[in-house]
Structure 1
Amino acid sequence: MIAYNIKSALKSLFSDRKFTLINVVGFAFAISVCLAISLFLLQEYSYDGYHQNADRIVRIIDSNKNSSNIDYRVKDILLETFPEFEDACLVQRETSPTNINIGNKAFRISDIMSVDNHFFNLFSTSFLSGNPSKPFENINSAIITKSKAKQLFGSENPIGKEILFERTNLLTITGVIKDFPANSSISAGLLLNAENDDFKFSFSCEKYSDKSTHRWEFRIYALIGADIDRSVLSEKINSKLGSLKPYINKIGFLPIKTMYLYDSTIGSHSKRGNPELLKLLIAIAFIILMLAVVNYINLALAQQNKRNKTTGIKKSFGASTSDLFVHFIIESVIVSAIAFILSIVLVYALSPLYTSVFGSSINIYSLLDTSVLLGLLVCIFIIGCLIGLVPALVLSKSNLNDIIKKTSTQGRNQSYFRNALIIFQFTVSVVLMICLLIVQKQISFVKNKNPGFAEEHLLCLSMPYLPKKEKSNAQLLVSELSNYPFFKNISLTNGVPGHINFTMGSGIENTDKEISVPCLIVDTAFISTFQFKIVKGRNLEPGDYRKVCMINESFYNFFEFTNLENKRFNNYRDGGLEIIGVVNDFQYGSSHNKIEPLCILFVENSNYYQLNIKIAANSFPSAIKTIKEKWEEIMPAYPLTYQFFDDWFDQMYEKEERFAKTIGLFALLAIAISCFGILGLAIFSAEQRTKEIGVRKVNGAKTYEIISMLNRGFSKWVAIAFVIACPIAWYAMHKWLENFAYKTELSWWIFALAGVIAMGIALLTVSFQAWRAATRNPVESLRYE
């Protein structure tokens, strides 16, 4: 019986090829979206779960400061004082590109971490060469990954090879490990020994500080004993901080398995996911699948009259309602199965597009995993049963007398139901379209908003970490470039607006307010290079080295200053810093947040890691050529890397750009699936009204009149969908824009434009079919009837 039902279902599907094709293609796109999103979600939610003891590994944080920057001495104190900790390790990631030399070759790499030997006890790593029990043989040992070894040494054996790190430390490769998995938030290509004091100092964000007074802050990861209650343990530690007190205010734990998605601490320096994007993708997958389901139900119900003849014949030969029900369910399962096979091809073909949207590649080969494939097949079977449920119930219960008489009392109710489903489809499409337009408008707004300084024609060079004997080369480069007229201003800094990695706790004399503020380490040319306005006081001068600082207007207002007389930081070295000037508020962070207090500090001969050059308009080719020549002349051992500042500044909005890409892609898919459905209904409507169209043509109806008649119903449904979609989209975007301190307006024309686009797409979809029906020879239409 099953074989007969399958054969009969296939025959029915092939007899209505147009509708079957529409259903299969729509479902294939919907399932491909769901598969791609599922693969991405599996990857994102599996981060750091591959470690053997992932459930017991935590990062130590300072809860009071919401910071992951912890003094390295905390590790040993915890292990000695609290037996609940089985092990702990130090981890510090370099935040800017670093120069290494191998023989005569120079490299500039950024995937470097400083760790201790305990790192390999906590985290699952596979050694290909070296001693796993003691990876670092001495403080100048280094561990390298397989891919990084190939990049640096080619096919040679890296064990025993020497690397000159920042032209100061000669390191020896003592181990090779497998690459960290893609779903690891803690990864690097080169691992250095954290017990080397030079790395503790050089890896710090406070590279200008004296080594003798430096705190040497790391990320500390700990392995907590099994069955230990973390909340009880943290309370125990905080109740008797003792020797920890100088180094941490209040201890907290961040589980490593949640770190990737939910880490909001300062100084994390590890990869972070976007949980909001994941929630959006889950909602989109559900919506896209629902649109395809609606298409199937709509087209199946639309064909009821057409299929009543077959149903009546089967009933007259004794087929029961349950037999017919099974037949229609088998049809829908077959459609789902074909669509599933096609969707795998689509996922593979569209994987570059999905990678661009997600910001991460998806592993399509995980679909070949037996458990995953089995789970997908079960899901496809369930979906097939569910989508066929409504048509099967309606079509299998058709009354035999109604079929013979060609009458039905359900026709009008089904028509209302189909119309409601079309309205639902276009409501979703219009909502997504409005959201896309508003997101793009907001991104354009924040990118084009006046940041409070001149960002045009600025080139940022990445400066190497120079050893003491070469520090003067930075100033020499500035001096040489200053001789050329197309270089308007040149400034050395640690950090620029949009990329500030250093914060400084500060208080003001004679006040009880304290604040932790982002701090820019700059030279005296910084203000003129970026063209900030000095609203009070004066600019930095060469004699101000480590004696004074400047602040922004928000800082000035926070402390409610009325003037700058005798205003000093009091929680700093040598009695504090005199505040000598106030600059205008400028955008140094994302537009999500209001402009907060900021400090600008002058540190002469610092290890600046950026050189910012203001170039005259229309002089870029000759300017860049000159920079390359002078760099090669003064610092030939270091590779030159540079970037235009406005491109770098715009990187703050990568999250929003990805959000817009996501909505854009899936809005197009939603519209395409909706159009498949409306096209199928247009074909059905034209076929059902063939006789009416022929009669109207014979009676002198014009082609455009018939096209208008066939389009009228669809236009009405899209208009109703637009009315429903507007308040939904307005509310959703109003809530989204609340995340921004500086935001665009929800302009009426965006809603109108989305409506016009939706109406245009719908009419274009159905008009061709309407035109074909309207231009058909009426004699053929009547003969056909």
Structure 2
Amino acid sequence: MKHPDIPSFAYKLFKWFCKDHLYEELEGDLEESFLANKEKYGLKKARRIYTREVLKMIRPTVLNKPKSGPGYQAALISSYVTISLRNLRRQKLFSFINIFSLSVAMSSGLLVIGMISDLLKFDEFHEHKHEIYRVISSATYQSRQLETQASSPLGLGPEIKQQVPNIQVAQLGRRLQGTATANDKKIFVKGIYADEHFFDFFTFDLIKGSKQNGLKDPFSVLLSESFVNKTFEDSNPVGETIDIEGLGTLKVTGIVADPPQFSHLQFEAIVSLSTTSILARQGIIDKSHDQWENLDRYYNYIYIPENQEKTSVIAWLNNNAPTYYKDPDNFKASFELQRINEIVPGPNISDSIGPKMIYLPIIILSVIAAAILLSAIFNYTNLSMARSLRRAREVGVRKLNGASRASIFGQFTVEAIILSLLSLGLGILLFRVLRNGFIEILPRAEEMVSLELTPQLIGWFVLFAIATGLIAGLSPSIFFSRLSSLRALRSGKMLKALSGISFRKSLIVAQFTLSIIFVMAVVITHKQYSYSLNNDMGFNKDNILNLRVQGNDPQILKSELMKLPEVSNVSFSSYIPGVGNWNNLQLVDARNQDSVWVHHIKVDDAFLENMQIELVAGRNFVPGENDVRESTILVNETFVKNFGLGSPSEALGTVFNVEGESVEIVGVIKDIIYANLEEHINSFVIRNTGEYQYANLKIASSDILGTLGSVEQVWDEVDANHRMDAAFMDQQIEDYYEFLVDFMKIFGFIGFLAVSISTLGLLGMAIYSTQTRMKEIGIRKTFGASEGKLIYLLSRGFFKMVLWAILIGTPICYLLFDKVILAQNVYRTQITIVEIGGSIIVLLLLCMVTIITQTWRAARTNPATVLRDE
């Protein structure tokens, strides 16, 4: 036995490396020497001498021959696998519960791994992916920081290329879309603008044409292979012309292969960027498109060779770029570099040129998947600990026959890994079944992920399963490996620590805490969705058909539409209120010349009546009063309050300057939700300038399909070049809040998994608990206990744990939604006892069915049979 003053590390090291037949003699000599040195030199020096002597003994004649080598390790692992499979077959029910719950949980983890694997493929196919950067910009307007944009000024590219040596620049532009006419066919096309350096930067295959000259001349266009197949079919389009709405006639100079799915640049057509300068001179696009103050629409990509530091580029962006702004106190922008393969996934920046996936959804889904997986791991740990008494005797016998801690630890770890790998097979089947639904519930996921099984992805799945097995088996492995053979062979009454009651209870509580959170999340999200659709926005959204004007004369369109008996009224607006759109307007207060920004919409004189917007003071627009010069505006109640204009009636006649013109407030409307439920109602101006994007048709017919057909006939007569684009306003608002439905689907799916796994774990525990208490049940029945009393006795412990979970999970979910998620909405529903109580009742009913089915069966058992077996 080790002397208490001997240093533990040195003693354990000696015990580990010393040969068995030398150990007892050498250990005695070391101890005698230690005690003598302690008397002579003191404790500290004696310990140092002891450690030095132990280190001197590390030599071949003393070292114990390790049990290693490929043959030994293979035999050891084979033994672990054989014992593990035998234990899994012996405990079929518990093995099924563990495998099924783990496979269900792993399927969610596999979906997230598949999604992350796909997202990490974005732009990896480019040859120079590590050397290409995109310039992103952040503007400051009147000391107010605006959101970061993926775009940057068109003038930045030529300047930085000229002033920073050894770099190359490629420039792109977006907003290329419209109806294309080619080969006597009309088809909608979307694409990008690009300069002649496009193929120097990006690795896209050009099937026909010249990479150097295909985008050099104005009004040149490269078409994607799929677009060519839809329009020109088998003929060669190179050299032919194509008309695109708003651009005119373009010459086809080549065919480019369809961009891979995992590319942030998606296009059906690429038009030469030099075309935009001519379009600006023609007034088709904004003439200020190339000014430094214009951060929208254009993108600068910089190629920095691998052997060159990017510090010179960053220094130019930080020091030189701001000098191009004439009035930096009023407006300026700062710039950063973003590597091309870090765009998707990437930070949340606006004005993206292609599909966008920010980090937050990935983090949320990963956390949720990890929570679900932990729930299944809890099941394994819980059931393993519950079966501890039976397995403890097995461990005790093995230790008496010479099994070490390491071998016991390895045995239980291998058993968990085997179970995890078996679960992986079923998990992959569930992955294949759930993948399409998973893609559907994630916004725009079909554009960014495919979740196709590839050898690489399967390899990640196997590693994930092994890691899951290691985590699941960690607690049982440590517990059983540390168990002494004497304690393991004692009776169950003596092994209080072995039963792990408190630990197992905490796992069940943790599982059902997750379950109640997910159930409540679904219920609360559904209520917020219903609230969003039914909330009074201050205007009529029923039976309003919004029709895109697409450049047609509003008066001609209105005249023809009003001939339809199904259309009772027609108004016009620059955008659709209530679906997240708004425009900014710089307004100058004529009283003090202060310049402020407000939100505004452009409408005709029929808009207020058609949308049933209430005037609280003043009048509506008079037809024709703003045709020559804008002279009147309408404002909302918040505008009156923010500008200190007194009452709505007192605000009438106040003059402001809008775009150089003096305008007078002639009417005040009641506040409406012109943006969405997430935004505060701010100062809002209604203008009457004749620039409209939508016709708002008031439908007075129950025959919706027939009405749409009649409207389409009128549209075709007015405009034969464009397809009708129309939708009902209530449906547009519903579509805008579709993200809540997606949110609800995700929580519903995850909640279903969490509840299923928790219920399975509870079922396993209930079965095992009733099996181990059969003798007690028999004795109680013999002494007259009723079935109801026995059911109560067997069930109360489980219900206490579920109630604890409810007490913990309910305030967590309430605070999460009330203070964080719903707090993002200015107009939101309130969480009431109905949602909380309903969620609790649902969970309690599930638990009740699970527990009582097992306890009722045990309570009905014949006590004579039980006691005879005992």
**Percent sequence identity over aligned pairs:** 23
Structure 2 gap segments, 5+ residues each: 1-75
The structure with more radius of gyration: 2
- The residue that corresponds to 1:339 in the other structure is 423
Q: Find out whether 1:12 has 2:100 as its counterpart.
A: no
- The residue that corresponds to 1:430 in the other structure is 516
Match of 1:496 among 576, 584, 594: 576
Bigger drift between 182-191 and 638-647 goes to 182-191
Q: Is the 8 A contact 1:60 1:254 kept in 2?
A: yes
Deviations 1:588-610 (A, max 9, x none): 22322202233333333x4x442
Distance 1:556 1:262 in 2: 41
Deviations 1:355-384 (A, max 9, x none): 123231443335422xx5445434432332
Bigger drift between 517-526 and 214-223 goes to 214-223
1:183-222 counterparts in 2 under 5 A?
183-197=262-276, 200=279, 218-222=297-301
Bigger drift between 282-291 and 228-237 goes to 228-237
For residues 379 and 275 of structure 1, do their structure 2 counterparts lie closer, same or farther at Cα, with a shift above 3 Å needed?
closer
Q: Is the 8 A contact 2:204 2:256 kept in 1?
A: yes
- The residue that corresponds to 2:455 in the other structure is 368
Match of 2:410 among 326, 331, 354: 326
Structure 2 residue identity aligned to 1:455: K
Match of 1:233 among 309, 316, 332: 316
Q: Is the 8 A contact 1:208 1:603 kept in 2?
A: no
For residues 87 and 530 of structure 1, do their structure 2 counterparts lie closer, same or farther at Cα, with a shift above 3 Å needed?
same
State the TM-score, normalizing by the size of structure 2: 0.81
Distance 2:617 2:196 in 1: 52
Match of 2:611 among 530, 534, 548: 530
Q: Is the 8 A contact 1:125 1:180 kept in 2?
A: yes
Deviations 1:105-158 (A, max 9, x none): 32234x333333344444442222221112225322222222333333445444
Structure 2 residue identity aligned to 1:93: R
Aligned with 1:89: secondary structure? strand
- The residue that corresponds to 2:37 in the other structure is none
For residues 239 and 475 of structure 1, do their structure 2 counterparts lie closer, same or farther at Cα, with a shift above 3 Å needed?
closer
Aligned-pair distance for 1:517?
Answer: 3.8
Structure 2 residue identity aligned to 1:392: S
Q: Find out whether 1:482 has 2:573 as its counterpart.
A: no
Bigger drift between 183-192 and 335-344 goes to 183-192
Distance 1:304 1:342 in 2: 27
Structure 2 residue identity aligned to 1:431: I
Distance 2:276 2:450 in 1: 41
Q: Is the 8 A contact 2:192 2:267 kept in 1?
A: yes
Match of 1:57 among 118, 129, 133: 133
Distance 1:203 1:306 in 2: 87
Distance 1:157 1:358 in 2: 39
For residues 283 and 506 of structure 1, do their structure 2 counterparts lie closer, same or farther at Cα, with a shift above 3 Å needed?
same
- The residue that corresponds to 2:367 in the other structure is 283
Match of 1:86 among 152, 163, 168: 168
- The residue that corresponds to 1:694 in the other structure is 778
- The residue that corresponds to 1:415 in the other structure is 501
Q: Find out whether 1:569 has 2:657 as its counterpart.
A: yes
For residues 217 and 426 of structure 1, do their structure 2 counterparts lie closer, same or farther at Cα, with a shift above 3 Å needed?
closer
For residues 775 and 175 of structure 1, do their structure 2 counterparts lie closer, same or farther at Cα, with a shift above 3 Å needed?
farther
Aligned-pair distance for 1:489?
Answer: 1.8
Distance 1:481 1:141 in 2: 39
Distance 2:412 2:275 in 1: 72
Distance 2:483 2:783 in 1: 36
Deviations 1:453-493 (A, max 9, x none): 101111122333x4xxxx44x53232122123331221233
Aligned-pair distance for 1:765?
Answer: 1.7
Q: Is the 8 A contact 2:314 2:337 kept in 1?
A: no
Deviations 1:744-766 (A, max 9, x none): 22323322222222211112122
Distance 1:202 1:494 in 2: 25
Q: Is the 8 A contact 1:568 1:577 kept in 2?
A: yes
For residues 724 and 281 of structure 1, do their structure 2 counterparts lie closer, same or farther at Cα, with a shift above 3 Å needed?
same
Structure 2 residue identity aligned to 1:364: L
Match of 1:594 among 671, 680, 700: 680
Distance 1:689 1:348 in 2: 42
Aligned with 1:240: secondary structure? helix
Distance 2:575 2:674 in 1: 10
Structure 1 residue identity aligned to 2:475: V
Distance 1:561 1:252 in 2: 41
1:286-301 counterparts in 2 under 5 A?
286-301=370-385
Distance 2:644 2:636 in 1: 13
Distance 2:601 2:404 in 1: 80
Aligned-pair distance for 1:496?
Answer: 1.2
Bigger drift between 46-55 and 172-181 goes to 46-55
1:26-425 counterparts in 2 under 5 A?
26-44=101-119, 47-48=122-123, 50-51=125-126, 52-53=128-129, 56-61=132-137, 63-65=139-141, 66=146, 68=149, 72-80=154-162, 86-94=168-176, 98-109=178-189, 111-136=190-215, 138-166=217-245, 169-197=248-276, 200=279, 218-223=297-302, 225=304, 226-229=308-311, 232-238=315-321, 240-241=323-324, 249-253=332-336, 255=338, 257=340, 259=343, 267-268=351-352, 270-359=354-443, 360-361=445-446, 362-365=449-452, 367-369=454-456, 372-411=457-496, 414-425=500-511
Deviations 1:426-478 (A, max 9, x none): 112112222332222222222221111101111122333x4xxxx44x53232
Structure 2 residue identity aligned to 1:712: R
Query: Aligned pair count?
Result: 769
Structure 2 residue identity aligned to 1:664: G
- The residue that corresponds to 1:507 in the other structure is 588
Aligned with 1:691: secondary structure? helix
Q: Is the 8 A contact 1:107 1:638 kept in 2?
A: no
Q: Is the 8 A contact 1:678 1:766 kept in 2?
A: yes
For residues 476 and 424 of structure 1, do their structure 2 counterparts lie closer, same or farther at Cα, with a shift above 3 Å needed?
same
Bigger drift between 413-422 and 654-663 goes to 654-663
For residues 516 and 88 of structure 1, do their structure 2 counterparts lie closer, same or farther at Cα, with a shift above 3 Å needed?
farther
Bigger drift between 1-10 and 314-323 goes to 314-323
**Could you list the runs of 4 or more consecutive aligned residues of structure 1 that deviate by over 6 angstroms after TM superposition?**
202-212, 242-248
Aligned-pair distance for 1:28?
Answer: 1.0
Bigger drift between 174-183 and 68-77 goes to 68-77
Match of 2:638 among 554, 560, 568: 554
Distance 1:121 1:576 in 2: 52
Aligned with 2:695: secondary structure? strand
- The residue that corresponds to 2:801 in the other structure is 717
1:736-775 counterparts in 2 under 5 A?
736-775=821-860
For residues 234 and 140 of structure 1, do their structure 2 counterparts lie closer, same or farther at Cα, with a shift above 3 Å needed?
closer
Structure 1 gap segments, 5+ residues each: none
Match of 2:671 among 581, 585, 592: 585
Deviations 1:684-706 (A, max 9, x none): 11211222333444455444433
Deviations 1:568-590 (A, max 9, x none): 325x25x4555443333222223
Distance 2:600 2:339 in 1: 30
Q: Is the 8 A contact 2:566 2:699 kept in 1?
A: yes
Aligned-pair distance for 1:93?
Answer: 1.8
Distance 1:256 1:558 in 2: 44
Bigger drift between 200-209 and 3-12 goes to 200-209
Structure 2 residue identity aligned to 1:25: F
